[in-house]
Structure 1
Amino acid sequence: MRIPGVPPAELAELNRAQDRLSFVYLERCVIHRDANAITATDEKGVVHIPAATLGVLMLGPGTSVTQQAMMLLADNGATAVWVGEQGVRYYAHGRTLARSSRLIVAQAAAVSHRDRRLDVARAMYRMRFPDEADTRALTMQQLRGREGARVRRCYREHAERTGIGWQNRTYDPEDFDSGDPVNQALSAAHACLYGIVHAVIVALGASPALGFVHTGNERSFVYDIADLYKAEVTIPVAFDVAASGSTDIGSDTRRAVRDRAHDGAILHRCVRDIRALLLQPGAAGPIDEAWLDEDAGDDTLRLWDDDGAELASGRNYAGEVDF
């Protein structure tokens, strides 16, 4: 029997995650579809956004989205993320682009093994400060100390560069407006980065919850990966916006992060870094480009067996075993 509706696009027909727009944030509008474009309608008119070019559509307060629009996003491998005012709260996300479970199986195996988890954590810290001494023998306590000192130094350098008085990172997640301009900008910038990273993780078929440095939260791995880029992307953007005298910190910061994410090819790097961390045997070693092949891995549905074998699905095995 033929399944009704338009069949989804073949995987080979879709744009790769790293070739898409980083994110588009919408609020107070009706979201629908027109052919292969997402439309956003408000009192000012209609904006068309090609669905195949989207990485993540961030849906803020006052948005209404139709079933047809969500179908189009899903068929094109884009991710919808429902967020709060200024994009600083995460509520839910859409489906994954991946057809294979290869990444999430590798992620679960690594996060469940102490030594492998430590290897991945060390590799993440090496990505954050590549010019410092080798991290392969450091404990998590030592790594956290180094990272804390690096972040503190980063804040101080950008405060001096922009002439902004800086005390420390203080904010109330329940009250965006309670922070000073630079802390508001940091919150808005980090939220955008989390949305980008979350979209890439989900699109690739990994789990946002299985973190290596962060743990216990549904977005632990999002925070792990986002931390790789904060010193380069969101921290300088936040200080620049705060120093500009902006009267709309949230909107100006989102636009600045969007421009920086595009100019710095963050999507491409994010895809490559996630694959390197999860698929590279022994994450502490050099990257083997063959392991980063986006088309590698079989997406055929199979049955697991306790001897380690994988059996063909879609057949009845009742006659092959004794009950």
Structure 2
Amino acid sequence: MDDFSPSDLKTILHSKRANMYYLEYCRVMQKDGRVLYLTEAKQENQYFNIPIANTTVLLLGNGTSITQAAMRMLAQAGVLVGFAGGGGTPLYMACEVEWFTPQSEYRPTEYLHGWLQFWFDDEKRLIAAKAFQQARIAYLQKVWQKDRDLKSEGFDFNSEQIQSALGTFHARTNAANKQSDLLLTEAQLTKVLYKFAANNTNTTEFKRQHQPDKNSTSKANDFLNHGNYLAYGLAASCLWVLGIPHGFAVMHGKTRRGALVFDVADLIKDALVLPWAFICAKENATEQEFRQQVLQAFTDHKALDFMFDTVKSIALTDEFGVDENA
């Protein structure tokens, strides 16, 4: 069968694509013009189709291999491929994000040009960083006020504890004079959110561990790491589509090669990954059940759409336009 052209495979906008896949102990290959993954069963081998035109990110975990032909078709469809460790957490370094991004000379340039117009100016880059912080809170408010499942688990945006923490957060964010001030304020808010989530789910003696640990006994930590890596996949896809290199971060510093991925992923992590990590841990869910829950939440609350809208707004407007009261 003749190869599809990229235009044939990109009929679904990335911001509207529905699928992220995490695969382990299988072989990914091209067969009859489709990308399949093969699992070995006792009686017979089983093939499953990957709908690449409606897929954003493919994560390959333990025991996986992929053929050159499959990678070619994934690249034509604009699917980002990442190699991960067990459970979707990074294989080599917990603080690094590695992606195989499709190569194309037809990436847009307008968003990169807009980004660079402010990025080299320290003051403007700080304004953009504050806009990111305001956007993440606006998204958290929208999700927590809308999602009935989260409300039923006690994640009430209007609770006194959350509102008090946000009052401090906004005051310190507005007063910040450098990125390190914003990072400290962000860390303080996240600490409050961890405590709030732990209390809601009766999680005792929770202590955040960012690096995956094979001997971990904290499902909440494992699920946070797992869910964050899924968010990194969406963020990396958003930036690749818009043509903005991952190194042009506004929050996480100029020296981290993938830092902008972390900035963009942070837009949705507190609203979606954090609460569901604690809820699924309380329910003693499996990794697969947690992954399905988080991916469904990404879809229900249009997480990728929100990433695209925020990054495009900041890239193309002088005000870096997100209203903290939105």
* TM-score band, normalised by shorter chain: 0.7 to 0.9
Q: Percent identity?
A: 23
Contact 2:203/2:282 (<8 A) preserved = yes
- Distance, in Å, in 2 between the alignment partners of 1:85 and 1:50 is 23
Larger Rg: 1
- Distance, in Å, in 2 between the alignment partners of 1:238 and 1:35 is 39
User: Shift in Å at residue 178 of structure 1?
Assistant: 2.7
- Distance, in Å, in 1 between the alignment partners of 2:289 and 2:322 is 40
State the partner residue of 1:144.
183
CA RMSD, aligned part only? Answer: 2.6
State the partner residue of 2:229.
191
Contact 2:3/2:33 (<8 A) preserved = no
Contact 2:107/2:241 (<8 A) preserved = no
Say whether 1:201 aligns with 2:239: yes
State the partner residue of 1:160.
199
- Distance, in Å, in 2 between the alignment partners of 1:122 and 1:243 is 34
SS of residue matched to 2:50: strand
1:100 to 103, 108, 126: 108
Q: Which amino acid in structure 2 is aligned with residue 20 of structure 1? A: R
**Alignment length, in residue pairs?**
280
- Distance, in Å, in 1 between the alignment partners of 2:7 and 2:57 is 19
- Distance, in Å, in 2 between the alignment partners of 1:78 and 1:116 is 32
Cα 1:78–1:68 change in 2 (3 A) is: same
Contact 2:18/2:54 (<8 A) preserved = yes
Deviations 1:214-237 (A, max 9, x none): 022221001111111111111011
State the partner residue of 1:48.
49
Contact 2:119/2:248 (<8 A) preserved = yes
Contact 2:36/2:50 (<8 A) preserved = yes
1:39 to 30, 36, 50: 36
Q: Which runs of 5+ in 1 are unaligned?
A: 288-323
- Distance, in Å, in 1 between the alignment partners of 2:187 and 2:99 is 30
State the partner residue of 1:111.
119
- Distance, in Å, in 2 between the alignment partners of 1:94 and 1:285 is 29
State the partner residue of 1:88.
89
- Distance, in Å, in 2 between the alignment partners of 1:110 and 1:11 is 36
User: Shift in Å at residue 148 of structure 1?
Assistant: 2.5
User: Shift in Å at residue 84 of structure 1?
Assistant: 2.0
Deviations 1:63-114 (A, max 9, x none): 2212221222122222112222222114431216752222233333432211
2:267 to 223, 228, 231: 228
Q: Which amino acid in structure 2 is aligned with residue 161 of structure 1? A: N
1:28 to 25, 28, 44: 25
User: Shift in Å at residue 13 of structure 1?
Assistant: 5.0
Q: Which amino acid in structure 1 is aligned with residue 123 of structure 2? A: D
Contact 1:19/1:268 (<8 A) preserved = yes
- Distance, in Å, in 2 between the alignment partners of 1:146 and 1:221 is 18
Contact 1:177/1:184 (<8 A) preserved = no
SS of residue matched to 2:269: coil
Cα 1:285–1:151 change in 2 (3 A) is: closer
Q: Which amino acid in structure 1 is aligned with residue 73 of structure 2? A: L
Say whether 1:182 aligns with 2:201: no
Contact 1:171/1:179 (<8 A) preserved = no
User: Shift in Å at residue 241 of structure 1?
Assistant: 1.4
Q: Which amino acid in structure 2 is aligned with residue 197 of structure 1? A: A
Contact 2:9/2:53 (<8 A) preserved = no
Q: Which amino acid in structure 1 is aligned with residue 87 of structure 2? A: Q
Cα 1:191–1:285 change in 2 (3 A) is: closer
- Distance, in Å, in 2 between the alignment partners of 1:136 and 1:187 is 29
Cα 1:36–1:204 change in 2 (3 A) is: farther
- My pick for the range that moved more, 152-161 or 275-284, is 275-284
Q: Which amino acid in structure 1 is aligned with residue 277 of structure 2? A: A
More helix by share: 2
State the partner residue of 2:161.
none
User: Shift in Å at residue 57 of structure 1?
Assistant: 1.0
Contact 1:22/1:196 (<8 A) preserved = no
Contact 1:111/1:117 (<8 A) preserved = yes
State the partner residue of 1:274.
311
- Distance, in Å, in 2 between the alignment partners of 1:37 and 1:265 is 27
Q: Which amino acid in structure 2 is aligned with residue 274 of structure 1? A: V
TM-score (norm 2): 0.77
Q: Which runs of 5+ in 2 are unaligned?
A: 91-96, 139-165
Q: Which amino acid in structure 2 is aligned with residue 264 of structure 1? A: H
- Distance, in Å, in 2 between the alignment partners of 1:192 and 1:176 is 19
Contact 1:95/1:203 (<8 A) preserved = no
- Distance, in Å, in 1 between the alignment partners of 2:174 and 2:210 is 34
State the partner residue of 2:64.
63
2:134 to 126, 144, 163: 126
User: Shift in Å at residue 284 of structure 1?
Assistant: 4.7
- Distance, in Å, in 2 between the alignment partners of 1:155 and 1:179 is 17
- My pick for the range that moved more, 95-104 or 78-87, is 95-104
